[in-house]
Amino acid sequence: MKRRITQLHPFTVLCLAVFTVAVATAASVWWLSCAVIVMCLAIGAVAGKARKLAALSGAIMLPTLLSLLMIHGLASRDSSPVIAAWGPISLTRGGAEVAMMLALRTAVLVVVGLLCGLLIDKHQLVAAIDLSPAPPQAGYLLASTLFLLPQMMEKQHAIGEAQALRKAGTGRGLAGWLQRLRLRAVPLVLSSVQDAHDRSVHLAARGFPARGEHSRLRQVADSQIQRGVRWVALLCSVLVPAAILVPFGGAA
Amino acid sequence: MSPNLLLPEASAAQLLRRRVLGAAGTLLLVGTYLFLVITQPTGIVEGLGQGVALATFAAYLIAAVLLLLAVLPDLPVSALTLIPVALALNIILGQFVGSVMVPLYLDSIGTVLVGFLAGRRAGAATGVLSTLIWSLFAPTVLPFAAGAALVGFLAGTAARYGALRRPYLAPIAGLVAGVLVGVVSSPVAAFVYGGTSGVGTGAVVAAFRSMGDSLLSAVTKQALISDPGDKAIVFLIAALLVFALPKRLSGSFEFIRRYKVLGKSGNK
Amino acid sequence: MMDMEHRAPVESTSALHLRLGSFRYADADHDTLRAIELELSPGSLTVISGDSGSGKSTFGGVLAGMLPRQGADSCEGTFILAGQRIDYSPEHSPRIDVAGWARHLGLLPQDAGLYLSRIRQTVAEELVFARENEGMPRKEMTELITEFSTRLSLEHLLERDPSKLSGGQERLVALTALSAANPSIIVLDEPLAGLDSTATATVTAMITRLRAAGTALVVLTRTTEAWEAEAETLLTLADGTLRPATRTARTAASSSKPSGFAAAAASEKPLLAFAGVQLGYKGASAPVISDLDLEVRAGECVGLAGANGTGKTTLLKAAAGLLKPIAGKLRVTAESGMLLQNPSDQLFERTVTREIAFGLPKKGLQRARVPRILEQLGLASCAQTHPYELPASARRLVALATVLVREPRLLLLDEPTEALDPAGLQILNEVIDSVLERGGAVLFSSHDERFIARTAHRVHRMPRQ
Ligand SMILES: Nc1ncnc2c1ncn2[C@@H]1O[C@H](COP(=O)(O)OP(=O)(O)OP(=O)(O)O)[C@@H](O)[C@H]1O
Ligand SMILES: [Mg+2]
């Protein structure tokens, strides 16, 4: 089962995600949103990533929820009963409901999106983009960023060590902080911009970006069924919300 | 078979296609924004709210992708290798700043840097890509791609018209860019998410709301408070970083040479 | 856009004919290269030597069509490559298709890692990156990989992650990827710098195989010793122009072994002492170094020898206080200063002077020492240059200068000879001597056995894992 999920074509996963988010947002009923979130966590558990998924989405959703409660709960202008009050500030029931609805809407996007990020193998995604009609630059930029990130973190660490050896950047207060920012940023930017520049000529010499057809050695498993699923999912993510919203909009 | 040693000239048909894509993206963005501001849809949660949320989300995202497709094929390889560096810098320097609890986001230093070094197209592409890739880790940023594109675009434009020739001009350009970006991005925050995602910014919006503002105007006012300052600092930092680069390196970017971004060449 | 005359095939048996009148970088005030004439025949080996900053890499770039950059550098000259004639003139430089050019002439850059795309998961994918861009069908690519990896014996690396290769392996992979296009000429910039003896042997063997297959090779190098036996043509690059080189071996840099100090040192107190020390990194399964016993006394110069990956850098970092031992006792009783393997990490100022004076009190004694240090390291002429604009050798000396201004008694050097040219080596030897003379100690790591033999009083060999 786990292998099944991780071996899906990356685009299939993405299309299904678009479909899920579109339908759940359009329907905007609390039980559907909750069901989607629970289902995502279950899939995450099957793939062995449930804990990471929960931690990451929690980190994003908590501040969002607080912010929404403040905006809609505290400053609500409706006359629904007050749940709690701290001096002049009070939280109304109507306001809290609005905030919860909005938070659920965002939560669906966050959980589904993060699940995609965790399920899709980055190299497969890059290969799939390369093999699609998208411009060849797109795959390069995605791949290069994902691989550069850990490398530059390491570089950042090495620079920190080098500065420590020179006993630089030990100041305190705002001036010290600015000094440290400069000592970190300047060598990092200098060396990485130089590296990027030197690299570019050799990339060009290796025929990048391809001007005509290009191919990939890596294979991305795909099937007729998955291709069908993708089209249906995309079509439905336009049609289903339209069907839900159009009569509704007329009534509102 | 003997491959050519010389490059062919660029064809006019390709150029036209890119123009059309770029124009379509811009139109979609401006159209959506105007529609939202003029009609001011209400009822965020019931009925219409979801339609507006989905439509705004889709329109901003599609506009950003169209703009990306328009500029990507034109970028020189030296800009292409620079973009990933910028994306990583956005994240790493953003983190360094975030770790000391300064109330700024500073998450666009790399984007602005590319705008300064490689021009507005590369800057815009960096903005969009930065958002797309960052969304793998934080999906909520997706519809802000258009705003990020605008940051890069404005940085490139500012550099082209001389914002880097004097150190004090950069933060001023940043201030102006911050106003524009704040205005353009607030409909996303208001209509897609119904507010903001930070606790501090949320408090500001709540304060404006309690003074009787509509959600959109409250969010816009909040953005106008925090964005210009943030962008002014980002533009200043990015400018200082560009000044720190050796002349030989900065001079190797065609954009810098062509528009004399750093002032008269030869003032070593 | 080129007229017919330029396209006309040229009668010639040589793989390349070049006549270069001059080459000048944008914003430079003199020609970096001038009056060069070069002809390469298939299967030949041409070795071009020159000091750091003499223009070897520049020449490599010109050969590979990467220089002059359009609209920036100015160049005058004529190429005849693959039967096509390309004319450069100051008014008009043709728009070169570097990818097409690379089919005929491949360049292995000085830092081979730059050649790798850094976006592929396995070496196999990296090898065919250029073919992918040409749209070669998958089946042909698989065959190509099999063919080249057996021919150049690279099978053991095919499934490895290209970003986790050692310097020597990186060079092998880049070289294989280069040759997969079957170019008639390959230019190698410093192919042996910084490699240990095993890696050197592997790279040399690969070069011999490529030559046997009829590829013309050009090697750009600081020292010719390793190549004199094989090369057909030996040239030196000096003052921007090529001259035939004399075949006599270069006299080794002077600096006889300063034996006097070693005897005196025995009685001194140790400045640095490891006793049963174990060193390792967080998250790694096994420690890098275990049961290390080493003492360095005042007046003593100790060399660390050992293959790649045996923990020389780790040891030095621990001595500098960057790494705490997991077990055992480490005692450092003197102010220490360390030169890192990669000098760029240490540099962040706009000029060499500011760089060296960074962080020193305005009116202190150390600040007053800056001009003398510049003089001592031969950097006085580039005091106002950006450190990044210096040639590799000088940049390394700048990093050394930033350490020396603080007059450490214990000097730690990680691969100090890497990137240094003969003049730089001479300066390094003088610096080591001066530290020893004023009662300090030096601990350095190196691959260069001859440098160790010449400089160190004592050698500590790192045990193989
Ligand atoms: N982009 C550039 N713009 C201007 N001058 C440059 C540029 N690159 C190199 N130079 C200068 O050209 C000269 C030759 O440099 P080059 O890198 O070719 O030397 P090298 O012989 O390869 O040195 P090394 O042995 O250190 O690699 C040096 O003086 C250098 O400062
Ligand atoms: Mg060189």
CATH code at position B258? 1.10.1760
B145-159, C10-24, C258-272 — which is least confidently predicted?
A: C258-272
A87 lies in the same domain as A6:
yes
Q: Considering chain C, what is the average pLDDT of its residues?
A: 85
A170 lies in the same domain as A239:
no
**Residue A6 belongs to a domain:** yes
- Residue B114 is part of which domain span? 76-267
**Residue B187 belongs to a domain:** yes
> Nearest CA to C28 among C51, C55, C52, C60?
C55
Per-residue HEC secondary structure of chain A comes to CHHHHHCCCHHHHHHHHHHHHHHHHHHCCHHHHHHHHHHHHHHHHHCCCHHHHHHHHHHHHHHHHHHHHHHHHHCCCCCCCEEEEECCEEEEHHHHHHHHHHHHHHHHHHHHHHHHHHHCCHHHHHHHHHHCCCCHHHHHHHHHHHHHHHHHHHHHHHHHHHHHHCCCCCCCHHHHHHHHHHHHHHHHHHHHHHHHHHHHHHHHHCCCCCCCCCCCCCCCCCCHHHHHHHHHHHHHHHHHHHHHHHHHHHHC
**Residue A131 belongs to a domain:** no
ipTM of this predicted complex? 0.83
SS3 C395: helix
**Residue B183 belongs to a domain:** yes
Cβ of residue B4 closer than 8 Å to a chain A Cβ: no
A113 lies in the same domain as A23:
yes
Query: Cα B215 to the chain's mean position, in Å?
Result: 23
Half-sphere exposure of C161 (CA within 13 A, CB side): 4
- Interval C65-104: pLDDT, tens: 998 888 888 999 998 988 889 899 888 888 888 888 998 9
**Residue A183 belongs to a domain:** yes
Measured between CA atoms, how close is A245 to chain B, in angstroms? 6
Ligand nearest to the backbone CA of C61: 1
Q: Which of C10, C25, C27 should we substitute to test contact with B (largest number of B Cβ atoms within 10 Å)?
A: C27
**Residue B218 belongs to a domain:** yes
A114 lies in the same domain as A9:
yes
- What residues in chain B have per-residue pLDDT under 50? 1, 45-48, 99-103, 265-268
Q: How many domains does chain A have?
A: 2
**Residue A211 belongs to a domain:** no
Judge whether residue C60 has pLDDT over 90: yes
Q: Touching A: which chains, 3+ CB pairs < 8 A? A: B, C
A151 lies in the same domain as A188:
yes
Q: How many domains does chain B have?
A: 1
Enter the tokens of residue C3.
Answer: 């007229």
For the question of whether the overall pTM of this predicted structure is more than 0.90, the answer is no
Cβ of residue A166 closer than 8 Å to a chain C Cβ: yes
A155 lies in the same domain as A234:
no
A79-83, B100-104, B107-111, C450-454 — which is least confidently predicted?
A: B100-104
| Closest residue of chain B to C386, computed from CA coordinates | B246
Choice from B78, B248, B249, B268 to test ligand 1 binding pocket (greatest atom count within 8 A of CB)? B248
Across the range A165-182, mean pLDDT stands at 77
Enter the tokens of residue B84.
Answer: 């990933």
Percent of chain B residues topping a pLDDT of 90: 21
pLDDT of residue C365: 81
Spell out the residues 6+ positions from residue B14 whose beta carbon is closer than 8 angstroms to its own: B73
Cβ of residue A178 closer than 8 Å to a chain B Cβ: no
A200 lies in the same domain as A230:
no
Enter the tokens of residue A114.
Answer: 């993060």
Q: Would the CB atoms of C386 and B251 count as touching at under 8 Å? A: no
Judge whether residue C142 has pLDDT over 90: yes
Query: Measured between alpha carbons, how far is C112 from C126 in angstroms, rounded to an integer?
Result: 13
A165 lies in the same domain as A41:
no
**Residue A153 belongs to a domain:** yes
pLDDT of residue A250: 44
Q: Of C119, C346, C348, which is closest to A144 when you measure between CB atoms?
A: C119
pLDDT of residue A252: 38
**Residue B86 belongs to a domain:** yes
- Residue A142 is part of which domain span? 136-205
**Residue A75 belongs to a domain:** yes
A201 lies in the same domain as A80:
no
- Interval C380-434: pLDDT, tens: 898 899 988 888 889 899 999 998 988 899 999 998 888 788 889 999 999 999 9
For ion ligand 2, residues whose CB falls within 5 Å: C 56-57, 110
A129-143, B188-202, B209-223, C21-35 — which is least confidently predicted?
A: B188-202
Q: Bridge partners of C78?
A: C19, C87
**Residue B27 belongs to a domain:** no
Burial A12-50 (b: 16+ CB within 10 A, else e): bbbbbbbbbbbbbbbbbeeebbeebbeebbebbeebebb
**Residue A52 belongs to a domain:** yes
Task: Band the pLDDT of C245: cuts 50, 70, 90.
Answer: confident
A86 lies in the same domain as A159:
no
A164 to A159, A180, A183, A184, C340: CA distances (angstroms): 8, 11, 11, 11, 12
Ligand 1 proximal residues by C-beta, below 6 Å: B 248; C 25, 28, 32, 50, 52-58, 110, 222, 389, 391-393
**Angle between the N-to-C axes of helices A136-165 and B120-134, in degrees from 0 to 180, rounded to the nearest 10:** 80
**Residue A210 belongs to a domain:** no
Chain B residues lying within 8 Å of A193, measured CB to CB: 82, 85, 117, 245, 249
Per-residue HEC secondary structure of C286-309 comes to CCCEEEEEEEEECCCEEEEECCCC
B47-51, C342-346, C353-357, C460-464 — which is least confidently predicted?
A: B47-51
**Residue B11 belongs to a domain:** no
A11 lies in the same domain as A111:
yes
pLDDT of residue B219: 85
Spell out the residues 6+ positions from residue C330 whose beta carbon is closer than 8 angstroms to its own: C273, C274, C275, C277, C318, C319
pLDDT of residue C75: 92
pLDDT of residue C7: 43
More confident residue, A34 or B210: A34
A106 lies in the same domain as A8:
yes
SS3 C107: strand
Query: Measured between alpha carbons, how far is A17 from C65 in angstroms, rounded to an integer?
Result: 47
**Residue B124 belongs to a domain:** yes
